[in-house]
Amino acid sequence: MVWQIPENGLTLSLTEPVVILEGHSKRVGIVAWHPTARNVLLSAGCDNAIIIWNVGTGEALINLDDMHSDMIYNVSWNRNGSLICTASKDKKVRVIDPRKQEIVAEKEKAHEGARPMRAIFLADGNVFTTGFSRMSERQLALWNPKNMEEPIALHEMDTSNGVLLPFYDPDTSIIYLCGKGDSSIRYFEITDESPYVHYLNTFSSKEPQRGMGYMPKRGLDVNKCEIARFFKLHERKCEPIIMTVPRKSDLFQDDLYPDTAGPEAAMEAEEWFEGKNADPILISLKHGYIPGKNRDLKVVKKNILDSKPTANKKCDLINVSKKTADTSSVQNEAKLDEILKEIKSIKDTICNQDERISKLEEQMAKIAA
C-alpha cells in the first residue's frame, strides 16, 4: 500500500491508502523508491520475486520472479537507478539490470557464513557487503561488479551474531554499520586507496538497538555541523542519535555539505521504463533545506480500451480533459469556500477578543481609579 502523508505531517490516523499494489503471492518485506524516477517503486517478497511498479498507474511493469532461488535479504538501487544489487539466503550477491531482466554480475558465497548478508551500491558503482565468515565472524567487503572474483577489500570485525545493517552517505563516502542487538555504531570511510575501507570511530551507548532508521541528508541541521542522524528503536521508544563534527567557525562548512540529492525526481516513470537514465538532481544545503510544496500522488488506472482507433481516441481525450477540468474546478470552488469560511471564523474570533480586551481595560481603569 502507498500512503500520502499530508503537507504538515499526520494529525489523524490514515485509513485510506492512495493505491494498493497487488502482485506478490507471499509477504512483502522490502520496498525501495527509485532514486531518480518519479513514482517508480521496487518491492521484494518472501515469494523470492522482485516487482517494479509504476505507482502512478498502479501497474506492475517488471517482474523478476526467476532470479532468486531463496529468500532475498535486501535490495539496493545504484546512484542513477539503472541497476540493483541483492543479497540472498543462497549466499549470492547479484547485480541485476531490471529493464533488460538479466543478471549483470554475480558472486557465490560472497560471505561463507550461514547468517544474513546485506549488499548496497556505493556512488562510484562498487558494491559494499556485510556478512559472516565460516567461523561466524562478522565481515565487511568491497566488490567491483566488473570483476566479482575477489573482493577489493575484506575485513573481519568481531564474533557477535547481530546482522550488520549498512547506512551510506554518498556525499562524504562514509558507511555507518549498526549491528542488530548491538549498542554501538561503527563508521568507516571508503576511499580509492588501500585499504579502501578505513575505520573512523565507534559510537557507543548503554542500550542495544532493535532497529535503526536514517535521516536523509537534507533533514540535518547544517548550523550545528550535523553529518548524520539515526533513529534508534528501543523496546518502547525511538531515540534520535545525532552525529556532529566539532567546528569552531559558525560559517557554512562546504566540505561537510557538498550538494546533495534533492527530493525532486529527475525524470518520469515512463521515461525510465523506456530506457532513459538520469543522475539525481542536486541541491545546496547552504541555507538549510526548505521543503517545497508536496506534489500529491495521482493514480491514473490504465484503460484496457485505450487501443481503440485513433479517431475515437481524440474525442475521448477531449471528453476526459473536459471532465477533469470540470472536477478540478468544482474541487477548487469547494476549497475556496472552505478558506473563506475559515477566514470569516478567524475574523469573528478577533472581533470577540477585541471586545473582551476593551471591557477588561475599562475594568482595569476603574480599579486603578
Residue 244 near residue 227, CB atoms below 8 Å: yes
How confident is the model over 110-122, as a mean pLDDT?
A: 95
Comparison of pLDDT for 336 and 105, the residue scoring more: 105
The answer as to whether 44 is a domain residue is yes
3-state secondary structure of 129: strand
Q: What is the mean pLDDT of residues 44-53?
A: 96
Show the cell assigned to 261.
540529492
Whether residue 125 is contained in a domain is answered as yes
pLDDT, one tens digit per residue, over 56-88 is: 999 999 999 999 999 999 999 999 999 999 999
pLDDT at 303: 56
pLDDT beyond 70 at 319: no
Question: Quick check: is 360 in a domain?
Answer: no
Average pLDDT over residues 265-271: 95
Q: Please, what is the average pLDDT of the chain?
A: 89
Q: Would residue 341 count as lying in a domain? A: no
Element (H, E) at 365: helix 310-368
158-172 per-position pLDDT tens digit: 998 899 999 999 999
- Res 320 pLDDT > 70: no
Q: Say if CB 40 and CB 33 are below 8 A apart.
A: yes
Task: Look up the CATH number of the domain holding residue 107.
Answer: 2.130.10.10
Nearest-angstrom CA–CA distance, 11 and 8? 8
Pick the more confident residue, 348 or 125: 125
231: in domain: yes
Domain that holds residue 250: 28-283
Beta-carbon contacts of 249 under 8 Å, excluding residues fewer than 6 positions away, are none
Summarize pLDDT for 323-365 with one digit per residue, the tens.
555 555 667 777 788 888 888 888 888 888 888 888 888 888 8
Q: How big is the chain, counted in residues? A: 369
Whether 321 maps to a domain, the answer reads: no
Taking the C-alpha atoms of residue 275 and residue 346, their distance in angstroms, rounded to an integer, is 53
Q: Is the pLDDT of residue 115 over 70?
A: yes
The total of structural domains in the chain comes to 1
Q: Are strands 93-97 and 118-121 parallel, antiparallel or unpaired?
A: unpaired
Q: Does residue 115 sit within a domain?
A: yes
The average pLDDT across 211-222 equals 93
- When pLDDT is cut at 50, 70 and 90, the band that residue 302 belongs to is low
Q: What is the pLDDT of residue 238?
A: 95
Q: What is the pLDDT of residue 306?
A: 54
User: What are the grid coordinates assigned to 324, written together?
Assistant: 477533469
Radius of gyration of the chain (CA): 26
pLDDT in tens, 136-185: 999 999 999 999 999 999 999 999 889 999 999 999 999 999 998 999 99
pLDDT at 287: 85
DSSP-based three-state secondary structure for 146: coil
143 alpha-carbon distance from chain centroid: 24
109-122 b/e (C-beta count within 10 Å ≥ 16 → b): ebbebebbbbbbbb
Which secondary structure element, helix H or strand E, spans residue 333, and what is its range? helix 310-368
Grade residue 369 by pLDDT with cuts at 50, 70 and 90: confident
Q: Taking 80 as the threshold, does the pLDDT of residue 293 lie above it?
A: no
In a domain, 363, yes or no: no
How confident is the model over 235-248, as pLDDT tens digits?
899 999 999 999 88
Who contacts 89 (Cβ-Cβ below 8 Å, separation ≥6)?
A: 70, 71, 72, 73, 116
Residue 1: beta bridge partners? none
Torsion of CA 106, 89, 211, 207, to 10 degrees: -110
Per-residue confidence (pLDDT) for residue 7, from 0 to 100: 82
